[in-house]
Amino acid sequence: MNPRSRWLCVLGAVGSVLALALPLVGTARGQPGDVALAYVWQDTVTLADSAGQPLEQTGPTFTYGQGARLFWTADGRMLYIARDDGLYATGATGGAAVQVPGFYGRTLTLSQDGQTLYYLETVSPQQAGEQYPDRVSFPFRDLDFSVADGSTGRLTGYFGRFQAGSSQVAVTFAAALYVRDGGLLGSGRPNLWPTYGSNVFGTCCFPDPGLALYNVGTGDFTIYDADFLPGAATTNPARTHLAGPTVNSVLRVIDLITGGVRDYEIAIAGGLGVIERVAWSPDNAFLYFIARYASTTPLALDREPAFPVDLRSADIILYRLNLVTGVIRELARRPDVYGVSSLAATERYVFAVVVDPNTLLVNDLNARRVWPGAQPTDPEMQVYMPATHLWRVPVEGGAGEDIAENVWGLAARPVR
Contact 3, 13 (CB under 8 A): yes
282 within 8 A of 237, measured Cβ to Cβ: yes
pLDDT at residue 5 greater than cutoff 60? no
Instruction: Find, among 9, 97, 18, the residue nearest to 61 by Cα.
Output: 97
CATH of residue 298's domain is: 2.130.10.10
**Global pTM value:** 0.91
Domain housing 127? 4-412
The per-residue pLDDT for range 187-202, each reduced to its tens digit, is: 567 899 999 999 999 9
Contact, 70 vs 58, CB < 8 A?
A: no
pLDDT digits (tens, 9 = 90+) for 195-250: 999 999 999 998 899 999 999 999 999 999 999 999 999 999 889 999 999 999 89
Tens digit of each residue's pLDDT (9 = 90 or more) over 103-153 = 999 999 999 999 999 999 988 899 998 899 999 999 999 999 998 899 999
Do the beta carbons of residue 259 and residue 244 sit within 8 Å? no
Q: Could you give the CA distance from residue 180 to residue 342 in angstroms, rounded to a whole number?
A: 10
pLDDT digits (tens, 9 = 90+) for 7-53: 333 323 333 333 334 555 444 444 667 999 999 999 999 999 999 99
DSSP string over 386-415 = --EEEEEEETT----EEEEESEEEEEEPP-
Of 376, 300, 295, 383, the closest CA to residue 339 belongs to: 295
Domain count, the chain: 1
Cα separation, 238 vs 248, in Å, equals: 27
